[in-house]
Amino acid sequence: MSEIAANISVDSRESIDSQDEVLPSAMTVALVQLALACGGFGIGTGEFAIMGLLPNVAETFSVTTPQAGYVISAYALGVVVGAPVIAVLAAKMARRTLLLTLMLIFAAGNISSAMAPTFESFTLLRFVSGLPHGAYFGVAALVAASMVPAHRRARAVGRVMLGLTVATLLGTPLTTFFGQSLDWQVAFFSVGVLGLLTVALIWFYVPKDRVSAEAGFLRELGAFRRPQVWLTLGIAAVGYGGMFAMFSYIASTTTEVAMLPETAVPIMLVLFGVGMNAGNFIGSWLADKSLLGTIGGSLLYNIVVLTTFSLTAANPYLLGLSVFLVGCGFAAGPALQTRLMDVAADAQTLAAASNHSAFNIANAIGAWLGGLVIAGGYGFAATGYVGAALSFLGLFVFAASLRLERRDRSAQAV
């Protein structure tokens, strides 16, 4: 494992012009991480704001709330499709150039979403807006990890993902509040502006890089020849759908199960955001200590807190506590991203980008299964049970990954 990490560190360092044999200064690293995190903030705000505005979207387009939930799945499908396709097609593109291109597409997609005339066009534009998501986070994680020592990679990745978690704490609640008070279209226009701001920050602060002579789509596709890559992606896709099953319908759970007013929805979003930030901070620190321990522990944790969510959703105070605790389950995010860096060898971009495809498969599965349970008459609170079941299934994928790793180590020792 240490040999793989060393190879990754060397390969990544070769992609930064200003780096050569020496890691950049702390100030340079901080500015790069700030620029990359700003993009994460915009993406996170755009991804999660819709979850608090589903009833408003449903009313505008005269559809039911579960039907409006299809736009969440459309965005997630865009991430799933966009991440591997973009990673392969852009294999010979400089990472800085790719980041700029991705954020321009993201900005255009969200501004267009704000002007969509029909539910069908809005759904299509959410799909387009999701296309750059996975590739952006994957490439941003690689850039951030390449600028720090190997034993601090997970924390560097965590700082980039901090933009995503801060979005759930500030961006999503604010856009939800203004979307409810003014017009939900304002939320997506604001997200588009954040995308344009990120373009400017990346232009000024992210250093230009060289493309490796060996880079190409065939090398990137090599990631999918490695079983551990598939298993790691499977853990994310199956094991973490539960968080999305719950969060996709948090607005209706708050108003129809806990019987709170609509103004309480942003409060629940803030609590979820606080939990995600706490999970990101603690999880990235733990991941630098034990990657596999952090991943496995978070799956067990999710089973408990998602079950508790369903049991306590009718109580406003316990609902708020459960929402916070479910948010803390994001602790696995930096760990899974770093794990992919370890198992992907030289196919870094595709593997890193595919992590967010996997999480958005989880998003789509969670929103879809949650909608089925609700439509089946089990109520909004039952989405927690769906989430616990998905986390339980994720443990089986995790166990398969552990078994393969032990077998490979035994074979190497012979």
Q: How far is CA 193 from CA 19, 71, 166, 205, 269, in A?
A: 31, 21, 17, 19, 22
* Assigned token pair, 45: 């705000």
pLDDT value at residue 104: 95
Same domain? For 325 and 258 the reply is yes
User: Does any domain span residue 12?
Assistant: no
Give residue 292's domain range.
Answer: 222-409
Same domain? For 192 and 74 the reply is yes
Same domain? For 68 and 102 the reply is yes
User: Does any domain span residue 276?
Assistant: yes
pLDDT value at residue 6: 37
Same domain? For 336 and 278 the reply is yes
Q: How far is CA 412 from CA 1, 73, 252, 277, in A?
A: 12, 42, 53, 39
User: Does any domain span residue 212?
Assistant: no
What's the burial of 94, exposed, middle or buried (CB within 10 Å: 0-12/13-18/19+)? middle
Q: How far is CA 141 from CA 21, 112, 129, 366, in A?
A: 20, 27, 20, 25
| Among 177, 207, 237, residue at a domain's last position | 207
Same domain? For 309 and 242 the reply is yes
Same domain? For 176 and 227 the reply is no
User: Does any domain span residue 117?
Assistant: yes
| Among 181, 207, 233, residue at a domain's last position | 207
User: What's the one-letter identity of residue 253?
Assistant: T
As averages over each run of 10 residues, the pLDDT of the chain (414 residues) reads 36 39 71 90 86 81 80 83 82 86 94 90 92 88 80 80 80 79 86 94 85 59 76 89 83 89 84 87 86 90 94 92 91 84 72 76 83 88 92 93 84 67
What residues contact 324, with CB distance under 8 A and at least 6 apart?
271, 272, 274, 275
| Among 176, 207, 238, residue at a domain's last position | 207
* Assigned token pair, 219: 């090398």
pLDDT value at residue 14: 39
DSSP string, 326-391: HHHGGGHHHHHHHHHHHHSTT-HHHHHHHHHHHHHHHHHHHHHHHHHHHHTTS-GGGHHHHHHHHH
User: Does any domain span residue 13?
Assistant: no
Instruction: Output the pTM of the full model.
Output: 0.73
User: Does any domain span residue 3?
Assistant: no
When divided into structural domains, the chain yields a total of 2
User: Does any domain span residue 11?
Assistant: no
Same domain? For 392 and 326 the reply is yes
Q: Give the separation between CA 312 and CA 294, rounded to whole angstroms.
A: 26
Domain containing 354 — which CATH number? Answer: 1.20.1250.20
What angle separates helix 291-312 from helix 383-413, to the nearest 10 degrees? 170
Backbone angles phi, psi at 379, to 5 degrees: 90, 165
pLDDT value at residue 71: 87
* Assigned token pair, 89: 């097609």
Q: Give the separation between CA 221 and CA 244, rounded to whole angstroms.
A: 29
What's the burial of 259, exposed, middle or buried (CB within 10 Å: 0-12/13-18/19+)? exposed
Tokens 């994928």 -> residue = 397
User: What's the one-letter identity of residue 272?
Assistant: F
User: Does any domain span residue 307?
Assistant: yes
pLDDT value at residue 39: 92
pLDDT value at residue 219: 62
Contact between residue 322 and residue 312 where contact means Cβ atoms under 8 Å apart: yes
**Long-range contacts (CB closer than 8 Å, 24 or more residues apart) made by 149-152:** 149/9, 149/23, 150/5, 150/6, 150/8, 150/9, 151/288, 152/288
Same domain? For 342 and 247 the reply is yes
Same domain? For 129 and 155 the reply is yes
Which among 273, 371, 378 is positioned nearest to 320, based on CA atoms?
A: 273
Helix/strand/coil percentages in the chain, nearest 5: 85, 0, 15
Same domain? For 72 and 182 the reply is yes
pLDDT value at residue 165: 79
Same domain? For 242 and 175 the reply is no
Q: Give the separation between CA 327 and CA 275, rounded to whole angstroms.
A: 4
Same domain? For 175 and 244 the reply is no
